[in-house]
Structure 1
């Protein structure tokens, strides 16, 4: 019984320190993409995946809209990044009008959404330029996520960004974890008390 109680307590403790897990970015409304390499921003396609349905909510056909800091010409416009075509080359991409660091592509979703992942395709014939900075905002403009996607070795292929977070070290456990942990320690305590009572009984009989 003591062994069983200790096993339960150990299981409860292990619940408090699990590995990093994939999570969702909740309430995402806008996605800002920049180029962290000092050159043109060139985006072939953006796929923002809704956590429950798996729907690409960035698509124009699903209500997504796109604006940019400026496009290279009248064909390489921001909407090319959310038209559902990938991988693609110029001019079927969004191509910024300069190589300045402040160039950006901004995608606005139809409604605040929980995202499970984000995939960005670069320019298929110039993949070496694609080191994307990614920032996701809520409807009030607060930053929900900030990271980067390095597509430079992918020749314009899509690189998927998943949102991972490690559980806090020494954080407050969830109620279910507390219940299991307390129950496990209760089993240990009960087994130890019974063991002590048995020992006392044997000692009393020996003295008699």
Structure 2
């Protein structure tokens, strides 16, 4: 009987996944503003573009595209396979619209999110539009979707300044990107399989004993 209780416990303890914030371990952009060693893609995952969960107004702490470029792809490496449920994005948000309207327009407008489990084959998870910043501290914008991924690619389609302020159409930026979902736990799956196997073995043993 103790063997049966042990087998059932193994099955009960096993769980398929646990809720988690999917914090990327790295971020790489197809292009980045080259000056002063700032505006790095890593700024999108290290919190440097935020203050108390809201936009920071320190533009070197954000990420921005290279001169003359207003589109880019950013690949986030999650470090584990997640079943993702949402992304929260803090748009580029430097400047006072009354004085620096063209700078605010560097914010991303249309974008797409793609997921991959192997870093090679990607499928689209979400496509949408980010709201434009105001230069004041703002909370992130959350978009919901569903998909399993180890890698997420964010493609920037355009920014708010395209065709409006030619002298400022050169760059596009973001402040921070975060993902949420659940991470499967291989060890619990192994426990689940082992638990069922042990339960079956115990039941067969009991049947054999009763037959005798």
TM-score, normalisation: structure 1: 0.39
Which structure shows the bigger proportion of residues in strand conformation?
2
